[in-house]
Amino acid sequence: MSKVKITTNLLLLAALGFALLGCSKKAESIGNGVAPSQVMQADYVVVSPQAVANKISVTGTLMPAESAMLSAQTSGLVKTISFKEGERVAKGQLLVRLDDRQWLAQQQKLAAQLQTAQRDLERKKQLAEIKGISQAEVDDAALLVASIEADKQELDVMIEYSVIRAPFNGQIGLRSVSPGAYLSAGDPVARLVQMDQLKLEFNVPERYATQVRKGQAVVFAISGDDATYQGTVYATEPAISETTRALRIRALVPNRNGQLIAGAFAEVNLTLDNIPAALLLPAEAVVPQLNDQVVYQIKGGVIKQVPVKLGIQFPRLVEVVHGLSAGDTIMVAGLLQAKDGLPVQAGQEMFVEKMEN
């Protein structure tokens, strides 16, 4: 091989070496002259709107729509009991009658006295017209009639008190008296409960009080039953309890089939609001600061710190109501090393779980 050819080959090899060295130096930098070893890599989510329901879960108690402990309004001996324990009764139905013979006898006596007094009053009015008696005698006769009528009305009330009737339609419970027993006024006889419709009572924390409205639907479940039931809010207390800092609420629950029992414990789910396009992030993507909440957005290959305002908070997700837009890319990992303006490379894309409404 000639000396000239060897020299030419050496020059070509040297040129190739310098070219490779130049390529190596160019590969060591990225972006604005930043080495790859200095660029942070972070997992991320892309903000996407979805429909969510703002729900809260609380505990409650089922109550009868109406409930009354039936009792006697006067004293007396139990003469008859006209109901069976546990049966359904209608409003106005006779349930218990006390011995009223003495009052009935007095009623007959007063009726006779009233009839005599009224005839005497009519005669005296006629005599007064011909000046046969004074007006004072007529007034005394009228007063006697009025007095007997008042006594009769009082006795009629006592006779009415001697019977106990159902004040509303419902199911009567276990009786605590027997025929022949002596009842004093106010002694309990049996409880009457209206079961065709129940009331669900529950409390919501103060921060949700203004979001509960009349007519709102309530879904609940009871222990030992896989079914879910529904009610409708019909009333709330006018003020928040100073003791519990909660608002007491009642809902009406249909119960025509009698499958629900008053007094049962209920797990209540209340939908406060439906949001058609909520922006949700994993809770770990939000970093609390002294007076603010921030997220780290990936934009143009660098980190941008963005203050945000949060809305609904779920167990693993939070709603962002201000500061972000659909399509923004937000870091969910490496937040402790994140700084505003720091170069960043997108790592693995994470996805926000879909909420069940």
Per-residue model confidence as pLDDT tens digits over 93-137: 999 999 988 888 998 999 999 999 999 999 988 888 888 888 898
Q: Give the number of residues written for the chain.
A: 357
State residue 337's pLDDT score. Answer: 85
Cβ-Cβ contacts under 8 Å for 348 (sequence gap 6 or more):
43, 44
Question: Rounded distance, CA 195 to CA 35, Å?
Answer: 76
- Whole-number Cα distances in Å, 62 to 59, 262, 277: 10, 5, 35
Boundary (domain end) residue, out of 189, 209, 230: 189
Among residues 189, 212, 241, the one where a domain terminates is: 189
CA gap 340, 333 in Å, rounded: 15
Q: What is the CATH number of the domain that holds 292?
A: 2.40.420.20
- SS3 labels along 178-194: CCCCEECCCCEEEEEEE
CATH number at residue 95: 2.40.50.100
pLDDT at 131: 83
pLDDT single digits (tens) 179-207: 999 999 999 999 999 989 999 999 999 98
Kindly calculate the radius of gyration of the chain based on its CA atoms and give it in whole angstroms.
44
pLDDT in tens, 203-254: 999 988 988 989 999 999 998 888 999 999 999 999 999 999 999 999 999 9
Say if 198 falls within a structural domain: yes
Q: What is the DSSP string of 3-63?
A: HHHHHHHHHHHHHHHHHHHHHHHHHT-BTTTB-GGGSEEEEEEE--EEEEEEEEEEEEEEE
Same domain, residue pair 255 and 317: no
271 forms beta bridges with 55
Domain count, the chain: 3
Find the domain containing 212 and state its range.
56-65+193-275
Query: In this predicted structure, what is the pLDDT of residue 88?
Result: 93
pLDDT for the residue numbered 291: 83
